[in-house]
Amino acid sequence: MGDVNRLYDVLRRHPTTVDGFWACVLLVTSLAMIGSTAADSPGSPYFPSRWLAVVAAVALSAVVLLRRRAPNRALGLAFGTGVFQVAADVPPMPGNFAFLVIIYTVATLPPRLPSRLALAGGLASPVICELRWPTEVLDGDGSRTSVAVGNVLFLTVASCLAWVLGDSLRTRRAYYAELEERATRLERERATQARMAVAAERARIARELHDVVAHNVSAMIVQADGAAYVLESEPEQAKSA
């Protein structure tokens, strides 16, 4: 358990390294898929856009790499890459998993506009994908419509789930931040009250000392006046006073 905690601490202190690792994983898997489908063959889904597919794979990997350091730019890059894929006829690849990653990432952040834009894009992209690259049913008894609807529902649910998880994390972080702020505020109030109590006690002691000193000085003045009064007639009493 200790090793797991240490590993978690190391990963938490180096988020860019973690994102870079997963970006490389997506890039390698995407390039492997592009290369394994015989891109030079007319029957390949990436014919004749093999190099365009490589560009899209690199851009999607960059989305994962930049998602923490520049989430809004990464979201814009994801949108741009999606439009590029549709325009250049580059079918989906493993790198498109970056869409779910960036949806989750922006949903964890306080600004709500990027989060809503990401959710809207996540809801629209499955429909656009199905319209641009219709599902092919190899089984003659299968229904292309039912399979297409199933694919759209699956991707839509995945996008919604990514957004809900991110938004839940944002809400939890905001709650914890509010608790910390409240605890800090209470601590400041307690310190202020303690300082006020010390100041009040010092003022009370000063008033008591003032009253005692004033009483003693008054007594001294009375005795001095009395001594001056009887100085000639009663010198011993004056001396005692």
Model pLDDT for residues 141-163, shown as the tens digit of each residue: 556 677 788 889 999 999 999 99
Rounded distance, CA 182 to CA 189, Å? 10
Nearest to 101 by CA among 25, 4, 35: 25
Q: pLDDT band at 15, cuts 50/70/90?
A: confident
Which parts of the chain fold into alpha helices (H)? 2-13, 15-36, 50-66, 71-88, 97-107, 112-132, 144-229, 235-240
User: Residues 159, 105, 29, 137: what is their CA dihedral angle, to the nearest 10 degrees?
Assistant: 10
Mean pLDDT of 39-51: 63
Which whole number is the average pLDDT over 211-239? Answer: 73
Query: For residue 98, which of 12, 180, 29 has the smallest C-alpha distance?
Result: 29
| pTM of model > 0.75 | no
The per-residue pLDDT for 64 is 95
Residue 231 DSSP SS3: coil
Burial class (CB in 10 A: 0-12, 13-18, 19+), 151: middle
